[in-house]
Structure 1
Amino acid sequence: MKRKLNLLEATAIGLGNIIGAGIFVMAGSIIYLAGPGALLSFIITGLLAMSIGLNSAELASKFPNTEGGVYSFAKLTMGDTVGFLVGWMRMISYSISGAATALGFASYLPFPSLDYVIAGVLIIVLGLIYLAGLKLASEIETTLVIINIIGLVSFISFSLLVGKFTPSHFTPIAPHGIQGILSGASLAFFAYSGFNTIATLTPDVEDGERKVPKAIILSLIITSILYILVVFSMLYVLPWQVYGTQGNPLSFALQEIHAPTYVVILISSTAVIATVTVTLSTIIATVRTLKQMAEDNLIPRRFSKDLLSSVVVLGIMISSLGLGNVEVIGLVSNFGTVFSYITTATAVIISRRRGMYGKFSAPAYPALQTISVILSLVVIISLGKESLMLGAVSLIVGLLLHEVHVQINVIEKGKRLSPHGKLE
């Protein structure tokens, strides 16, 4: 009988999927969009992530035997069609975000002409690690996440020690207006989306109904504190105007202030590790969502096998590398992520009205759920035309695929019926 994950290992998988994309890859792009207001962007997004995390924690305690996370919560409370759309959008957004972090990994290596090749190879290797077993993946994540946190703390400490507070680095607070802050928040949400990976692990965690909610909340508290401190440190050492869409913003900042080579190597190495952990966690969440959809017969059942579902997910991730730089990939990915989180708040409301309670309940009901939906809509609206258009197309394609699958099931069921209307 396989040993289940403990609280530390579950939290580590969540941290592994959060720490990496947001700071080591996206931080420069967020400052580029929001200026010093990037601090507010991360605070806004942190509050949104915490509200969604509390909703996910409650649902994980109510539905402890599902592997689909947000997808399963939507299906069990709102039916197959909504469930399919959530699962479909999650699969797309997870896959695209995996491509962004893999590209971030490649950006930290000294082979710029091979970025896309390196990112593709990383995706394949991590897919093979997942196929080797979830326990192995979680053990790798636990070790690497500790290194990631040490790296971020080192960056913060070094920046505050060698830097000097300069008011112009933090003014004007909103050079691009409120829209810039909201755009930054929309991109920053990419950094927090990984906490939902923990919700897909409930069946594989010891006392999952109690420990998964704790793991979700712990991972969000730790990352929110680190994120805000890192962005503050980046602004502390350099004016906001110098940051752009670099895939390696922390090492870029250190190189600009002529930090010792060993410091740059330390942070760059940590960044490489962080992008590895987040890509691995993304693969875990995407494959498990796809498998659960197959087991629920919302897609062909053949996809319930680890090998086939992994091949599909890895293929989408590698194809997504063609979208371009990390900022574009991140914004496109966020549409599906935020869309699915709107349904999470709704699922909490529906399940409570049905009298369903688990071992954890989100506080401040229903105000928290209302705030969660409103903030999610603000983030979606702020994503930009390209992301909104691709998101809308993805939803329409998802609806068509679902309808085709439903009709195929009806036809196959009809073929199994005898002329007297009984199954043969």
Structure 2
Amino acid sequence: MSANSNSIFRTKSIEDLLAGASGDRALKKVLGPVELVFLGIGAVIGTGIFVLPGVAAANYAGPALILSFIVSGLTCVFASLCYAELASMIPIAGSAYTFGYVGLGEIWGWIIGWDLALEYMIGLSTVAVGWSGYLVTLLGSFGIHFPAAICNPFGQNGGIINLPAVLIVFVMMLLLIRGITESVKLNNFLVILKLGVIILFIILAVGHIKPANWNPFFPYGVGGVFKGAAVIFFAYVGFDAVSCAAEECKNPQRDLPIGLVGSLIVCTVLYILVAATLTGVLPYLIYKTTAAPVAYALLQVGITWGSALVSVGAVCGLTSALLVTMYGCTRILFALSRDGLLPQVFSTVHPKYRTPVNSTILVAIISMCFSGVLPVMRLAEMANMGTLIAFIIVSASAIVLRKRRPDIERPFRCPAVPIIPSIAMMFCFYLIWELPHFTKVVFAIWIAIGIVIYFAYSKSHSVMEKSQKLGM
């Protein structure tokens, strides 16, 4: 459909998008390739490495979790190539939402934007719960104990509200309102710290690996590898936040592909090494009893100081994941609002800091509610669905735009189109099939709500709709 169609499948031109990202609703351009790689690592290396490997090994894959990470990593590699092409040719805030709007049409853009909003807020809440768990464990080792009622989700282990999780989200909100430059500096420092801690863990634990712990390698069968991949796919949630930073890049055409692919390669290698180490040091079933498997493994082999140090690094590492995940979500809402699909108040930019202040506050409020009352595993399962759907939309958009707009310059070209995007979509569909039934039900309800909002509000308030009525 053309951009002038009244159809719900009307597409927005790349030229209009670029023109709209200027003036008083433009974001400050401050990011280079190093900052983007660190943003990707900051988003990805968090709950997925410090919390979920133990749960996934104990309940889904056993030692074969190593292969689960490879399956999930390959899915992301294929999708990242599509992201890199689209982000380099459409350097606008919004990530998959923007790509879907341009490639497939407004209704698909809205659905993926609505989906991404849930994905990021659930992802943010999950990391906040993991952060809380490590902080409570760390302080407990120093004799500082919190009442169970204020550090556990509602109804779990005597919990009423997970107060530390709520408070850390609030702090991240204040930091992001203050400005992206300050946020990036903090993220870079935290990424260096947590990478050092992960490498230290591997060095300390590798001498305690017992190959017997890897036998049986497939305790849940080969199918457990794919079920594990579907669950720990959450470990990769957030790498696409790099593409959300497109509008704030100094040279997006060159730097975005570096940030997307570079951060993904680093993270995948680290995940595989940590999974192999964890399942080699202790029998996989032991991890059912802990939400802090990396620190727990060192504690069980007698390296107490290393366990405490890892806990400190995990708290810092999860903090950077919180920061980048919240950042990504605020930019999604900002883009939806600037296009008129959400109220314009959410695309208001702070006159001094040039940050989307109202979007940031909204994301924080909803995420504080989620993280305060929901358990980590349920949150992770819900976030995975959104990411996989986003990957499918982006991959499909890469194929469609090659056909519709072959004239647009592509500083980075995904190889072997349509083969690579098609493989990415097949991987994603299979992992969706493996997700728990509860996750699919929640996603269906969320999308149904989104469709109602689109026809009740978004379609008639769309910037494209208003332009057409004015005869533009």
How many percent of aligned residue pairs carry the same amino acid?
A: 28
Out of 91, 94, 117, the position equivalent to 1:91 is: 117
Is residue 298 from structure 1 mapped to residue 341 from structure 2 by the alignment?
A: yes
Alpha-carbon distance, 1:18 to partner: 0.4
Is residue 103 from structure 1 mapped to residue 110 from structure 2 by the alignment?
A: no
Out of 418, 421, 427, the position equivalent to 1:369 is: 421
Is residue 310 from structure 1 mapped to residue 336 from structure 2 by the alignment?
A: no
Contact 1:96 1:316 in 2 (8 A): no
Aligned to 1:200: 244
Is residue 343 from structure 1 mapped to residue 393 from structure 2 by the alignment?
A: yes
Amino acid at match of 1:149: L
CA distance in 1, matches of 2:311, 2:369: 26
Out of 73, 92, 100, the position equivalent to 1:46 is: 73
Out of 313, 326, 331, the position equivalent to 1:270 is: 313
CA distance in 2, matches of 1:350, 1:185: 28
**Structure 1 119/351 Cα, relative in aligned 2: closer, same or farther at 3 Å?**
same
What whole-Å deviation, never above 9, does each CA across 1:205-262 have from its counterpart, x for those lacking one?
A: 1211111101111101100111100111101210112112732111121222222x22
Equivalent runs, 1:17-36 vs 2, <5 Å: 17-32=43-58, 33-36=60-63
CA distance in 2, matches of 1:82, 1:378: 21
What whole-Å deviation, never above 9, does each CA across 1:141-196 have from its counterpart, x for those lacking one?
A: 111101111010000110112x04322x1122221123321121012211112111
Equivalent runs, 1:316-335 vs 2, <5 Å: 316-321=366-371, 324-335=374-385
| Segments of 4+ moved more than 4 angstroms | none
**Structure 1 245/281 Cα, relative in aligned 2: closer, same or farther at 3 Å?**
farther
Helix, strand or coil for the counterpart of 1:194?
Answer: coil
More helix by share: 1
Alpha-carbon distance, 1:28 to partner: 0.8
Aligned to 1:173: 217
Aligned to 1:283: 326
Instruction: State which drifts further: 246-255 or 285-294.
Output: 246-255
Is residue 254 from structure 1 mapped to residue 306 from structure 2 by the alignment?
A: no
Amino acid at match of 1:311: I
CA distance in 2, matches of 1:56, 1:2: 22
**Structure 1 9/270 Cα, relative in aligned 2: closer, same or farther at 3 Å?**
same
**Structure 1 407/95 Cα, relative in aligned 2: closer, same or farther at 3 Å?**
closer
Alpha-carbon distance, 1:311 to partner: 1.8
Aligned to 2:200: 154
CA distance in 1, matches of 2:227, 2:125: 21
CA distance in 2, matches of 1:271, 1:228: 17
CA distance in 2, matches of 1:30, 1:164: 19
Aligned to 1:137: 183
TM-score, length basis structure 2 = 0.84
Equivalent runs, 1:73-84 vs 2, <5 Å: 73-84=99-110
Helix, strand or coil for the counterpart of 1:109?
Answer: helix
**Structure 1 93/323 Cα, relative in aligned 2: closer, same or farther at 3 Å?**
farther
Instruction: State which drifts further: 270-279 or 359-368.
Output: 359-368
Contact 2:342 2:458 in 1 (8 A): no
Aligned to 2:255: 211
Helix, strand or coil for the counterpart of 1:401?
Answer: helix
Contact 2:50 2:294 in 1 (8 A): yes
**Structure 1 68/164 Cα, relative in aligned 2: closer, same or farther at 3 Å?**
closer
Amino acid at match of 2:342: I
Amino acid at match of 2:435: L
Contact 2:385 2:443 in 1 (8 A): yes
Is residue 8 from structure 1 mapped to residue 34 from structure 2 by the alignment?
A: yes
Contact 2:119 2:387 in 1 (8 A): yes
Instruction: State which drifts further: 218-227 or 203-212.
Output: 203-212
Amino acid at match of 2:129: L
Contact 1:34 1:175 in 2 (8 A): yes
Contact 2:134 2:311 in 1 (8 A): yes
Contact 2:166 2:372 in 1 (8 A): no
Report how many aligned residue pairs link the two structures: 413
Instruction: State which drifts further: 240-249 or 134-143.
Output: 240-249
Amino acid at match of 1:108: Y
CA distance in 1, matches of 2:385, 2:195: 28
Aligned to 1:396: 448
CA distance in 2, matches of 1:401, 1:13: 32
What whole-Å deviation, never above 9, does each CA across 1:308-367 have from its counterpart, x for those lacking one?
A: 211211122112125632211101111111111100110000110121441001112221
| Structure 2: gaps (5+ residues) | 1-26, 137-145, 152-161, 349-355
CA distance in 2, matches of 1:46, 1:296: 33
Amino acid at match of 2:436: G
CA distance in 1, matches of 2:399, 2:57: 36
Aligned to 2:143: none
**Structure 1 51/112 Cα, relative in aligned 2: closer, same or farther at 3 Å?**
farther
TM-score, length basis structure 1 = 0.93
Aligned to 2:159: none
CA distance in 1, matches of 2:236, 2:54: 16
Amino acid at match of 1:4: V
Amino acid at match of 1:75: Y
Alpha-carbon distance, 1:92 to partner: 0.5
CA distance in 2, matches of 1:9, 1:422: 41
**Structure 1 262/245 Cα, relative in aligned 2: closer, same or farther at 3 Å?**
closer
Amino acid at match of 2:361: V
